[in-house]
A and B are shown apart, each in its own frame.
Chain A
Amino acid sequence: MTGARVTASGWGWRHAGRARAAVSGLDLDIRPGERVLVLGPSGAGKSTLMHALAGVLGDDEDGDETGELLVDGRRPSASRGRVGLVLQDPDSQVVLARVGDDVAFGCENLAVPRAEIWPRVGQALADVGLDLPLRHPTSALSGGQKQRLALAGVLAMRPGLVLLDEPTANLDPEGVVEVRDAVLRSVEASGATLIVIEHRVAVWQQVVDRIIVLDPAGGILADGPTDRVLSAEGERLAAAGVWIPRFPPAPPERRNRSEASEAEVLLHAEGLCVGRVPFARKRAVVVAGELNLTLESGTATAVTGPNGTGKSTLALTLAGLLAPAGGHLTAADALAAGLGPAPHRWRSRDLLERIGTVFQDPEHQFLAGTVRGELAIGPRALGLGGAAQTERVDALLHRLRLDHLADANPFTLSGGEKRRLSVATVLATRPRLLVLDEPTFGQDSRTWAELVRLLAELLDEGTAVLAVTHDEQFVSALADARLTLVPGAGPAGSPGGATGRLSSGLRRRIGTEPL
């Protein structure tokens, strides 16, 4: 099986209902077997190009096409099976309930004879290093495993062109390497052409031959061998939001801590066990336990560790959204301000000025039809008058550069804008403690820098920040302390439980002793 050739001449696409074309004036020639990294700022049409190459962009009803885009000299929609696409979200790519069946799904659609399907499935699973029984339930896979499963499903189709649309954006660092290496092994074996979109250049830099930079204004900004493009365009790309290792975003200024006012204890956890109550059960299943932690005003604490160790559950518990599964969680008077010491017993409205939570998936917390309406929800729940509401909302719109989107529907925003909006909705009620779950997922370097700068300002103003994150740059830019959750030895009776290790004093020691 040889690699596919990709050619474009004057190609463009405008989604139905949009005034501006997503891609325009694109000329390309990608040789069989080439490995290409496609870069470009948000909104440059990278995903549109990938969808078009995979033949899933739709027809005349879905948008207007100009020019010509060909895979092996044929229209992509006519060469299904020649092209395989892996998308960003691990959850929405699993089709069937069992691992083997899911990998076989693509082969079946291509009418591969039954006798040939199962050897292909075995080969593809071996290529991606997913050593599981064919009957293993897909619902029991981790994010990294799901992405490798999606890749195996694509590889089993034996495509000549493999397309990866930010395949590692939602994975922890180990998962990123797992998936990347699986991709390399398999394209090396098959000789397939590879096109990857990824914000984080460092992951792919060493393994691709060529970089193509799309221009948001149309056409191509730069195209050539990896090193040449990075040295010629690196700075410009970095300024446009692409993560270039040589040009990292500047870390924000933090006011010297000794000048800062005395830190107050806000929340204190001792022997805290966290867990969720499964559907139709009474008792919580503990996912992480025996955690000791103190959160103080003006300090940032990072919670790190592999997927599945209970980081998000811990964040939701500290945020007063889940009841602790054991141990003690006590809100100090400085935070409780007249309420009881157990945050999960507070009323929903009482949380607003005390603890703000930014969820991993911003879409989960959107409630209104416009950005402006979204920002007004918190202040209105607090009982602020119309004028005060407008004032707060306008200030936030301005501060987070969302002014021009005030009347847009939150669901139509880009990934970076959604993230900024979800942070802004929380800031609208000025909580003393901010809990963020993976705040920098999928952010380009520019929106990353903005978010980090904003959080630094809040920290200097005395807000406490707790962030669950995989992002080492984020940790080193902001965190004063780090709690690392490690899988394995949990408290008695919970074999899968994780425990935490508190590494003291990234900048300064906080509260409790390490475990």
Chain B
Amino acid sequence: MSLMTPEIRPSAIARVNPVAKLAVALLISCALMLSIDWVSAAVALALEAVLLAWCGLSARQFWLRTAPVWIAAPFAVLTTVLYGQDSGAVLLSAGFVSVTEGSVALALAIGLRILAIGIPGIVLLATTDPTDLGDGLAQVLRLPARFVLGALAGLRLVGMFIDDWHSLALARRARGVGDGGGLRGRGRRFGGLAFALLVLSVRRGSKLATAMEARGFGSDIPRTWARESVFGLRDSLVVVIGAVIAATAITAAVLAGTWHFVLA
């Protein structure tokens, strides 16, 4: 299990073409960004919750992966409640802080929005292998192979950053410059380490580029793809489901009268 080869349990959603998943995530995000109201976000979130049953993530994996949004959402709610734009009846007031009906509604809308956009995005990525996503981007969306494979190969190097960082830090300790100097020294060392890591990564990257070139990468012949990325009926259906969720959320908000177009 690593960044590049996540352990993905077989599930209905894991089998979907990554490009379709990406489309769903984008559709829902865009729809929810058009308005800030609680109804559209709540409807989208409820519909997504139904679909989660097919994602194949265990409860532990689900909570672990989505933890960032569960932490971010309450913070956003709290700050909006306290400092958000005030309107309507004042519920509480103390100095800078004022809680009004308007700021509470806004906070609710923002909190639900973070969940409704964040959770499907994370879940869809958690059920996607980066290599498969690369195949999809290149074969279905026809992005340039050079860009897609370069990104994939580069992403693999990211996994090595952690080891390199560790080695560099130990080497500095061995060279007698690994501590001391208080907070400023710490900051300077961090900068030095980051720069050393950059140098090391560039060198590693150029070696990797040579190795890729030696295997015929970057020539003018159009390459073939060993893994076929199929975009079939099921994948189209998934995109349709995504569109339906987005449309339902917007319709519900308009009917409920809470729709508030941000660009208007």
Contact = CB atoms under 8 A, between A and B. Distances in A.
A95 B211 contact: yes
Contacts of A378: 175-176
A381 B176 contact: yes
Interface string A101-117: 10011111111111001
Nearest to B167: A364
Contacts of A96: 131, 152-153, 156
Interface string B156-168: 1001101010111
B126 to A, nearest CB: 16
Contacts of A113: 224
A114 B223 CA distance: 10
Interface stretch (B14-22, B42-50, B213-221): B213-221
B228 A95 contact: no
Contacts of B174: 319, 321, 348, 351, 355-357, 359, 365, 426
B176 A349 contact: yes
A135 B4 CA distance: 12
A367 B214 contact: no
Interface string B203-236: 1100110111111111101111111100000000
Contacts of A154: 215
B131 A97 contact: yes
Interface string B172-185: 11111111100000
A326 B180 CA distance: 27
Nearest to A312: B167
Interface string A75-113: 000001101110101011111111011001111111111
B12 interface: no
Contacts of B166: 276
Contacts of A377: 175-177
Interface in A347-370: 347-349, 351-352, 355-357, 359, 361, 363-365, 367
B224 A137 contact: no
Given A92-B208, A114-B224, A365 B171 contact: yes
B219 A108 contact: no
B84 interface: no
Nearest to A150: B211
Nearest to A280: B162
A114 B226 contact: yes
A425 B175 contact: yes
B170 interface: yes
A118 interface: yes
B2 interface: yes
Specify which of B167, B178, B211, B213 lies most central, judged by the most chain A CB atoms within 10 Å of its CB. Answer: B211
Contacts of A137: 2, 4-5
B211 A93 contact: yes
> Mostly helix, strand, loop or mixed at chain B's interface?
helix
B185 to A, nearest CB: 11
Contacts of B178: 348
A413 interface: no
B178 to A, nearest CB: 3
Given A95-B215, A279-B162, A111 B177 contact: no
Nearest to B199: A411
B200 interface: yes
Nearest to B160: A91
Given A92-B204, A378-B175, A80 B219 contact: yes
Contacts of A91: 160, 204
Contacts of A359: 167, 170-171, 174
A139 interface: yes
B130 interface: yes
B214 A85 contact: yes
A113 B43 CA distance: 47
B226 A118 contact: yes
Given A93-B208, A364-B167, A56 B226 contact: no
A153 interface: yes
Nearest to A156: B215
A126 to B, nearest CB: 17
A347 B152 CA distance: 40
Contacts of B176: 348-349, 351-352, 377-378, 381-382, 429
Contact of A98 (B131, B153, B173, B217): B131
A135 B196 CA distance: 33
A108 B167 contact: no
B192 interface: yes
Specify which of A87, A92, A111, A426 lies most central, judged by the most chain B CB atoms within 10 Å of its CB. Answer: A92
A157 interface: yes
The 4 closest A-B pairs by CB, nearest first: A348-B178, A97-B4, A109-B216, A381-B176
Given A51-B210, A378-B176, 14 more contacts: A80-B216, A85-B214, A92-B204, A97-B152, A113-B224, A114-B224, A139-B156, A321-B173, A349-B180, A357-B171, A359-B171, A367-B172, A367-B196, A411-B203
Interface of A: 51, 54-56, 80-81, 83-85, 87, 89, 91-98, 100-101, 104-114, 117-118, 121, 135, 137-139, 150, 153-154, 157, 276, 279, 316, 319, 321-322, 347-349, 351-352, 355-357, 359, 361, 363-365, 367, 377-378, 381-382, 411, 425-426, 429
24 contacts: A56-B210, A85-B211, A92-B207, A96-B152, A97-B129, A98-B131, A100-B226, A101-B227, A109-B215, A109-B216, A109-B217, A111-B222, A139-B2, A139-B5, A321-B170, A351-B174, A352-B175, A361-B167, A364-B164, A364-B171, A365-B174, A367-B175, A377-B175, A429-B176
